[in-house]
Amino acid sequence: MVRPEIEITDDGSPTLRHPLTGDTYHSLRGAVGEALHVFVREGFSFVGPSDVRVLEIGFGSGLNALLTARAAARQGRKVRYTAIERYPVAAEVAARLDYASDPLFMPMHEAPWGAWTEIAPHFRLKKIEASLPGYRFDDTFDLIYFDAFAPDTQPEMWSREIFAHLCDRLSPGGVLVTYSAKGTVKENLRAAGFDVRRLPGALGKRHMIRAVKPSCSPANEQRP
């Protein structure tokens, strides 16, 4: 377990700063604002199924999961939410975040690792404590939240091989969203078989990415 420091972002919502990498878990311009824009609006609200299988790369503070659970309740949808995290945040740190006042939040952090837990009738969670490279998922997914630390901090997480592995676990037409629109990220997503779409970024950031798995292309097809 890690015990990151809490920082307040510009929209008043808290985020965490990782004690090993020094990176913050969300944008300092606004943790909630960024998460809502990148993952909920351009990811969750974009995909079609009423029952959605979500994979999050980097559970972190649990903010993306919480906002997704709230959105699912508003939209009348059900979610199976899998999250893989190499450095789980200690529950006592999570309890100090403002989000802890939401009755869904702490059950997410207190849920056992490696097992499905019903957080609410519309939201089931499975947390996996592992490193993404080399991990083999049993499930397939409709949507991936790619929320790893920045490419400059963790370049190995943004490789063609990682994206090809994730593309293989997406259903046809499945979607990956991420906050980064760096050139090498786009190139590696395309090389892994995704159709890459650059969208306006959150809170003044120029761009983000929504990548879609073509319904008729193999995940590891080399693309120009």
- Quick: pLDDT tens for 53-106: 999 999 999 999 999 999 999 999 999 999 999 999 999 999 999 999 999 999
Q: Is residue 2 part of a domain?
A: no
Least confident of 48-52, 160-164, 216-220: 216-220
**How many angstroms separate the CA atoms of 69 and 83, rounded?**
13
Q: Is residue 111 part of a domain?
A: yes
Q: Is residue 62 part of a domain?
A: yes
Q: Is residue 218 part of a domain?
A: no
Q: 56: buried, middle or exposed (CB in 10 Å: 19+, 13-18, 0-12)? A: buried
What would the mean pLDDT of 143-168 be, rounded to a whole number? 96
Q: Is residue 108 part of a domain?
A: yes
Which band of pLDDT confidence, cut at 50, 70 and 90, is reported for residue 20? Answer: confident
Q: Is residue 20 part of a domain?
A: no
| CATH classification at residue 98 | 3.40.50.150
What would the mean pLDDT of 161-185 be, rounded to a whole number? 97
Q: Is residue 45 part of a domain?
A: yes
Query: How much of the chain, in percent, has pLDDT values that exceed 70?
Result: 96
Domain count, the chain: 1
Give the residue from 90, 84, 75 showing the smallest Cα distance to 54. Answer: 84
* Residue 46 belongs to domain spanning: 31-212
**How many angstroms separate the CA atoms of 222 and 188, rounded?**
10
Give the residue from 37, 42, 32, 23 showing the smallest Cα distance to 62. Answer: 32
**How many angstroms separate the CA atoms of 26 and 9, rounded?**
9
pLDDT of residue 195: 98
Q: Is residue 144 part of a domain?
A: yes
pLDDT of residue 216: 55
